[in-house]
């Protein structure tokens, strides 16, 4: 499974995100409501396996959380479900995104 930093997600991925790519925020619904990356979908890390079939239709799914731990667990759960399109944002997360003052919804 590929791993990238939140910096790479911000600098390279988000500006060029294709329709067949998804940013998956695996924080809690409350955390997501407080602010998230534009266009991101929310599904808690405990529940990602339930939507694996839906996520399989994307070319790439970028999984992130607040710091990286929940993203790692979610990415591993999706890997177990047989998905090979998962990229884990394991170096940083929404905490750094917010600290940097990057655009959010």
Asked whether the whole model's pTM tops 0.95, one would answer yes
pLDDT at 1: 87
3-state secondary structure of 81: coil
CATH number for the domain whose boundaries are 2-99: 3.40.250.10
Between CA 55 and CA 21 the distance in angstroms is 10
pLDDT at 91: 86
pLDDT tens across the length of the chain (105 residues): 899 999 999 999 999 999 999 999 999 999 999 999 999 999 999 999 999 999 999 999 999 999 999 999 999 999 999 999 999 998 889 999 999 999 999
End-to-end CA distance of the chain: 28
- Where are the domains positioned within the chain? 2-99
pLDDT at 49: 97
């Amino acid at each position: 499974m590929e791993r990238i930093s939140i910096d790479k997600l911000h600098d390279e991925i988000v500006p060029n995100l294709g329709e067949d790519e998804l940013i998956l925020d695996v924080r809690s619904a409350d955390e997501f409501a407080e602010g998230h990356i534009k266009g991101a979908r929310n599904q808690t890390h405990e529940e990602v396996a339930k939507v694996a079939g839906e996520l399989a239709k994307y070319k790439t799914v970028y999984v992130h959380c607040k710091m990286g731990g929940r993203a790692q667990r979610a990415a591993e759960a999706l890997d177990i479900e047989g998905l090979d399109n998962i990229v884990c944002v394991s170096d940083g997360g929404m905490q750094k995104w917010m600290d940097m003052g990057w655009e959010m919804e």
